């Protein structure tokens, strides 16, 4: 019987949450003891110090991480987060979720995640560039097109991916576009990658609303988080004909029961950087936004915002998890008991991002580029198949939708480990 000493390395609320989700899923599919710990714990991680010269000439040392959870079926894949609250445990949990996500949707990848403890809003462009390049420089021997392929996440974007791709390429001595995804189109980025996560969230929400027989014209939406994922989710849902009644970012939210003009909000944020003082409606807090009466609630920011404290007060019909890990395990139990809210779990709901990252990687490796229509058609096809497999698993075993999605993802990783055997 395998026994793992759980190292204190990753210990945190969010890592324990991911572990408990895993334990529950492993119990549900009777995963053998021999495979459990091998499948559960991250394979390896790297922690780095990143000294950066500041605008005033002083030097600040930032701390960065990369956790590779699983590499059994291909290179590991996952974003890099720049945020002041990043911890190694959080990055490990996010890496774990990437494993189940890539496996669930059938990508030839394992899971990974990276993070740097910093507030990118407090850095100048030059400081951000130095930090991004320094991070990649430290990762040169840890990542690569066939080892681990980073991408954007909270606080990072195409510009940062471009600097990272350039730093890596300079080290190896030739252009290596496939080392990161989410790049600008000019450097081998894919059509549709920037909007892919939000477009996928909106597409799946639309499909589930069809199942629930709620017409788009009668759909109201509250989106928490107006970064890349939240804004694209809001935009795509408004284009489908839904009314977006609330949006928010870390500075607070805007509520307008008549509907918010998302293009106007996007333009505002382009120049003002945040939603603060946007005049599209009345001010609302992030906490109040989550409890609004609406059809679709889309948490698109950070983990653990729907908890056992507010789960009983939610007034939505469908939760579309654009963020990773927005719903705690205790909140899941409350929502399951209520029985009146459907959840599209994160590993399914926000998988559009990594799916188009996969398309980008394929295009880079083959040097053959697709049109936006081709990308979107393939993306929606993969989401349809993933949704169908989750629904079939849910029906077959009478699982919650989250358990159905996690068991599918985990089983495939465990099967791959089983088939490969254990290197002596
Ligand atoms: N950071 C995104 C996620 O959490 C995208 C990862 C990727 O494209 O590799 O799924």
pLDDT per position as a tens digit, 54-66: 999 999 999 999 9
Cβ-Cβ contacts under 8 Å for 97 (sequence gap 6 or more): 18, 111, 324, 325, 346, 347
CA of 267 to the centre of ligand 1 (A): 25
Distance, in Å, from the CA atom of 405 to the CA atom of 100, rounded to the nearest integer, reads: 8
Length of the chain: 424
Query: Cβ < 6 Å from ligand 1: which residues?
Result: 77-79, 151, 153, 181, 324, 350, 353-354, 357
113 catalytic residue (yes or no): yes
Mean pLDDT of 141-165: 98
Distance, in Å, from the CA atom of 389 to the CA atom of 105, rounded to the nearest integer, reads: 9
Question: Tell me, what's the pLDDT at 422?
Answer: 86
Looking at the predicted structure, is the pLDDT value of residue 3 above 70?
Answer: no
Integer Rg of the chain from CA: 21
Question: Tell me, what's the pLDDT at 4?
Answer: 52
Which has the closest alpha carbon to 281: 333, 312, 244, 226?
244
Mutational test site, ligand 1, from 69, 98, 112, 300, max ligand atoms within 8 Å of CB: 98
CA of 192 to the centre of ligand 1 (A): 14
Q: How far is CA 125 from CA 139, 160, 219, in A?
A: 21, 10, 40
**Ranges of each domain in the chain:** 45-175, 196-344
Mean pLDDT of 413-422: 93
Element spanning 57, H or E: none
What phi and psi, each to the nearest 5 degrees, are found at residue 219?
-90, 130
Under DSSP, the state recorded for 370 is -
Q: How far is CA 291 from CA 161, 265, 288, 313, in A?
A: 36, 22, 5, 6
Looking at the predicted structure, is the pLDDT value of residue 185 above 90?
Answer: yes
Q: Whose CA is nearest to atom 9 of ligand 1?
A: 78
The number of the ligand 1 atom at minimal distance from the alpha carbon of 101 is 10
Its sign, for the CA torsion 319, 325, 326, 328, is: positive
CA of 281 to the centre of ligand 1 (A): 32
Question: Tell me, what's the pLDDT at 57?
Answer: 96
Distance, in Å, from the CA atom of 45 to the CA atom of 64, rounded to the nearest integer, reads: 11
User: Which two tokens mark 389?
Assistant: 């497999």
Straight-line distance from the first to the last Cα atom of the chain, in angstroms, rounded to the nearest whole number: 17
**3-class DSSP state for residue 98?**
helix
pLDDT band at 424 (very low <50, low <70, confident <90, very high): confident
Contact between residue 264 and residue 51 where contact means Cβ atoms under 8 Å apart: no
pLDDT band at 5 (very low <50, low <70, confident <90, very high): low
Beta-strand ranges (E) seen in 214-274 are 220-224, 243-249, 252-255
Its sign, for the CA torsion 284, 290, 291, 296, is: positive
User: Which two tokens mark 188?
Assistant: 């081998």
Contact between residue 98 and residue 354 where contact means Cβ atoms under 8 Å apart: yes
Question: Tell me, what's the pLDDT at 2?
Answer: 45
Q: Which of 113, 183, 387, 394 is catalytic?
A: 113
**3-class DSSP state for residue 132?**
helix
User: Which two tokens mark 35?
Assistant: 């495979």
CA of 181 to the centre of ligand 1 (A): 9
pLDDT in tens, 35-52: 999 999 999 999 999 999
The domain 196-344 is classified under which CATH number: 3.40.50.720, 3.40.190.10, 3.90.700.10, 3.30.460.80? 3.40.50.720
Cβ-Cβ contacts under 8 Å for 270 (sequence gap 6 or more): none
pLDDT in tens, 193-213: 999 999 999 999 999 999 999
pLDDT in tens, 311-343: 999 999 999 999 999 999 999 999 999 999 999
Angle subtended at Cα 199 by Cα 197 and Cα 204, rounded to the nearest 5 degrees:
95
pLDDT band at 1 (very low <50, low <70, confident <90, very high): very low
Contact between residue 364 and residue 151 where contact means Cβ atoms under 8 Å apart: no
Under DSSP, the state recorded for 113 is E
Beta-strand ranges (E) seen in 214-320 are 220-224, 243-249, 252-255, 282-284, 296-299, 318-320
Mutational test site, ligand 1, from 354, 356, 362, 379, max ligand atoms within 8 Å of CB: 354
Looking at the predicted structure, is the pLDDT value of residue 416 above 60?
Answer: yes
Question: Tell me, what's the pLDDT at 423?
Answer: 79
Cβ burial 184-198 (10 Å sphere, 16+ → b, else e): eeebbbbbbbbbbbb
Give yes or no on whether 45-175 and 196-344 have one common fold: yes
Cβ-Cβ contacts under 8 Å for 39 (sequence gap 6 or more): 22, 26, 31, 70, 410, 413, 414, 417
Cβ-Cβ contacts under 8 Å for 416 (sequence gap 6 or more): 72, 73
pLDDT exceeding 90 applies to what percent of the chain?
97
Q: What is the fold of 45-175?
A: Rossmann fold (3.40.50)
CA of 77 to the centre of ligand 1 (A): 7
């Amino acid at each position: 019987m395998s026994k793992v000493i759980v190292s204190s390395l990753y210990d945190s609320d969010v890592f324990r949450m991911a572990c408990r989700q895993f334990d529950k899923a492993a119990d549900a599919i009777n995963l053998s003891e021999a495979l459990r710990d091998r499948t559960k714990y991250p394979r390896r991680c790297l922690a780095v110090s990143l000294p950066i010269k500041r605008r005033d000439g002083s030097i600040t040392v930032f701390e960065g991480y990369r956790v590779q959870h699983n590499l059994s079926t291909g290179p590991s894949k996952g974003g890099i987060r720049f945020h002041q609250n990043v911890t190694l445990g959080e990055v490990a949990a996010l890496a774990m979720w990437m494993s189940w996500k890539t496996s669930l949707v059938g990508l030839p990848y394992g899971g990974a995640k990276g993070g740097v403890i910093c507030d990118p809003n407090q850095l100048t462009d030059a400081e951000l560039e130095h930090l991004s390049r320094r991070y990649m420089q430290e990762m040169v021997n840890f990542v690569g097109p066939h080892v681990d392929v980073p991408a954007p996440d909270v606080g990072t974007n195409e510009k940062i991916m471009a600097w990272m791709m350039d730093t890596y390429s300079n080290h190896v001595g030739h252009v290596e576009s496939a080392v990161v995804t989410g790049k600008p189109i000019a450097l081998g980025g894919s059509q549709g990658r920037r909007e892919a996560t939000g477009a996928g969230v909106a597409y799946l929400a639309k499909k589930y609303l069809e199942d629930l027989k709620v017409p788009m014209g009668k759909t109201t939406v509250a989106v928490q988080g107006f970064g890349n994922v939240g804004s694209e989710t809001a935009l795509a849902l408004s284009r489908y004909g839904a009314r977006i009644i609330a949006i928010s970012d870390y500075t607070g939210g805007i509520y307008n029961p008549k509907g918010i003009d998302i293009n106007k909000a996007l333009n505002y944020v382009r120049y003002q950087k945040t939603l603060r003082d946007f005049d599209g409606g009345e001010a609302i807090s992030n906490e109040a936004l989550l409890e609004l009466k609406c059809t679709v609630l889309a948490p698109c920011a950070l983990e653990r915002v729907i908890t056992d404290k507010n789960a009983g007060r939610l007034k939505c019909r469908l939760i579309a998890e654009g963020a990773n890990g927005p719903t705690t395990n205790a909140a899941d139990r409350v929502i399951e008991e209520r029985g009146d809210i459907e959840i599209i779990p994160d590993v399914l709901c926000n998988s559009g991002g990594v799916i188009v990252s996969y398309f980008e990687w394929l295009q880079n490796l083959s040097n053959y580029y697709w049109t936006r229509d081709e990308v979107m058609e393939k993306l929606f096809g993969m989401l349809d198949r993933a949704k169908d497999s989750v629904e079939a698993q849910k029906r077959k075993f009478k699982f919650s939708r989250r358990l159905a999605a996690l068991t599918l993802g985990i089983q495939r990783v465990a099967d791959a480990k089983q088939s490969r055997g254990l290197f002596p």
